[in-house]
Chain A
Amino acid sequence: MSFNVLTNLGMGFEQALSLLNLFYCFLGVLLGTLVGVLPGLGPVATIAMLLPITFQLPPTSALIMLAGIYYGAQYGGSTTAILINLPGESSSVVTAIDGYKLARQGRAGFALFTAAIGSFFAGTVATFLIAGFAPPLAAVALSFGPAEYFSLMVLGLAASVALAHGSLIKAVAMVILGLLLGTIGQDLYTGTPRFTFGMTELADGLEFIALVMGLFGIGEIIRNLEDESERNVFAQKVASLIPSWAEFKSTIKPILRGTSLGTFLGILPGGGAMLSSFAAYSLEKRIAKDPSRFGKGAIEGVAAPEAANNAGAQTSFIPMLTLGIPSNPVMALMIGAMIIQGIQPGPNVITEKPELFWGLIASMWVGNVMLLVLNLPMIGMWVKFLTVPYHVLFPGIIAVCCIGVYSVSNNAFDVYTMAFFGVVGYVLVKLDCEPAPMILGFVIGKMLEEYLRRAMLLSRGDPLVFFQRPISAVLLILAIAALVLVLIPSVSKKREEAFRE
């Protein structure tokens, strides 16, 4: 890490520690923990609900708060997983396996402590990694032409497909569907309205917030209403949080391994918190001396995935901040938030908005400290929230969605769009089609088309240009390799196993 990075980080901390930003950081991680604890409400829907409200905030504060929701949810999710065997967050699915067993053995405190410390350590490492790696990456990206950008986006989409669970061909179709929905609205070059089917409200395209709230907010609620079995809060008193030295020592290595794995998988397009935690769990199981302990209360099964999901959540900001390319739906929303604030996401953000870039990074570490305080001593309060039954909770979520989506442009049409995509989201999930690749396709769609058209203009209509430029060729070959790799039978079997665990 160079001297420059340290001065920049210093400037970032100055930003992050201002009273206003401290407040929004706190608000973000508090909300994040809350939605993380509550099953059935995730960071994607929450960030989508709050996006319209961030109009009024300064850009740095808005992004600090939204980022806090994402990594805060990773902390909160583990609490629910450990105490009631129900993952509050999809990235905590594997934590529930061994965490809940530990809780039943009377060691809930130990599991919660490990999860929080692991997350904190991973969050700290990831913060400094972003600070060190993002600027050089952005510098490389500045030399990219339209062909390179096009290929990079194709790689991002290919990776998100390869890493999505379920059928590969359906995931590809979902990406294409997203791209197609992204073409609705005026054509960039000629202004010709496309696919508006006579509705003037569609001239500017589908409202992104309405789309996300529908798919992830409303669609999810309908799915939760399928099965309303009561959840059992494991209402045992959480005894001593602080573990013995021997216990603590046994968690160090898994935390280190989880952190490295999560950091790496977070940077990959299509990666992020969920993939990281799954991968970390299977790694621990594979290298354990006695794998049969897993599933019966192995602390490694809590430490590694929890470190990994927090590391992954944070490093997934790298491609978003440096290239302007979202690697998962949350990052797509962050890009949306930047655009709302009038900031063009991409490699220029670091040089043109250094206070935003470094402030956001520094706030992640500040947020992690706050989360440690919020989670360890106040665990009892979060457990209380779990006693709120879902049938009381979901009308509130719908109320916030309705008001939020209407307020985007004071337009009832956006409310209808949200309702429509609520139905679409539910139907798609019932047909085993994951909505996440579709969201990425939708966000990337306009950029992809623009770069494609520009690259083709420059090459006078020769599509070989994408293979003649070396960087572009490498990126495209990687994209093809990612898809081919998943299709190889042995790998695809492993992939299915990994997702089933």
Chain B
Amino acid sequence: MPSFVKNPKDFLAGLLFIVVSAMFAFGDVDLPIGTAFRMGPGYFPMILCIILAALGIAIMTNGIRVEGEAIKNFTWRGLLNIVLPIVFFGATLRGLGFVFALGITVFAVSTASLHFHWRTALINTVTLVFFGWLIFIWGLGLPIQVWGPWVGGY
């Protein structure tokens, strides 16, 4: 963080709001704005973008002017070990089927904890896959294949 930033939380939050507002403003240019009488699809979002950008600038300025505490304990390990397996689940559920997609996902997210131990994680995985199947597929009848085509299912 550059030295002129006194409150990194405010500075980054402000920046985030500005970036999001810019993204939406970029998407808004193609939409008809209309008039206050007959508002087009772009009118309401345009107002929101302007307000959000203004607030973002105010919050960011605050982050330069007023002293505040730094961001503590940000856990990359937790973040990546949780989010990537979830993406994996979405990407492979159709191909691998319920058992392998969920099993691998559950085992992988278990590594996010500092208390990870392969034996507990494996037992946990087997239990969760079994009960997941029991409740969601056998019980509630969700249309998810148990074994996908990649592992010899049909």
Contacts and interface: CB of A to CB of B under 8 A. Distances in A.
13 contacts: A167-B59, A172-B55, A180-B49, A190-B32, A192-B41, A222-B75, A395-B110, A395-B128, A399-B102, A399-B105, A402-B86, A426-B79, A432-B13
B75 A403 contact: no
A395 B73 contact: no
A183 B115 contact: no
A373 interface: no
A180 to B, nearest CB: 5
A399 B71 contact: no
A218 B83 contact: yes
A187 B124 CA distance: 45
Nearest to B85: A398
A135 to B, nearest CB: 33
A173 B140 CA distance: 40
Contacts of B82: 218, 221-222, 225, 398, 422
A221 to B, nearest CB: 6
A389 B21 CA distance: 41
Nearest to B110: A395
B90 A416 contact: yes
B24 A222 contact: no
Contacts of A416: 87, 90
A427 B78 CA distance: 12
B104 to A, nearest CB: 11
A227 to B, nearest CB: 7
Contacts of A419: 83, 86-87, 90
Interface stretch (A1-9, A17-25, A405-413): A405-413
Contacts of B48: 176, 179-180, 183
B42 to A, nearest CB: 8
B39 interface: yes
A422 B106 contact: no
Interface in B37-78: 37-45, 48-49, 51-52, 55-56, 58-59, 62, 71, 73-75, 77-78
B27 A197 contact: yes
Contact of A395 (B32, B109, B136): B109
A394 B10 CA distance: 30
A415 B110 contact: no
B31 interface: yes
Nearest to B20: A177
A457 interface: yes
A290 interface: no
B113 A431 contact: no
Given A180-B45, A180-B52, A415 B87 contact: yes
Interface string A293-332: 0000000000000000000000000000000000000000
Contacts of B90: 402, 406, 412-416, 419
Contacts of A463: 36
Interface string A146-177: 00000000000000000000010110110011
A117 to B, nearest CB: 35
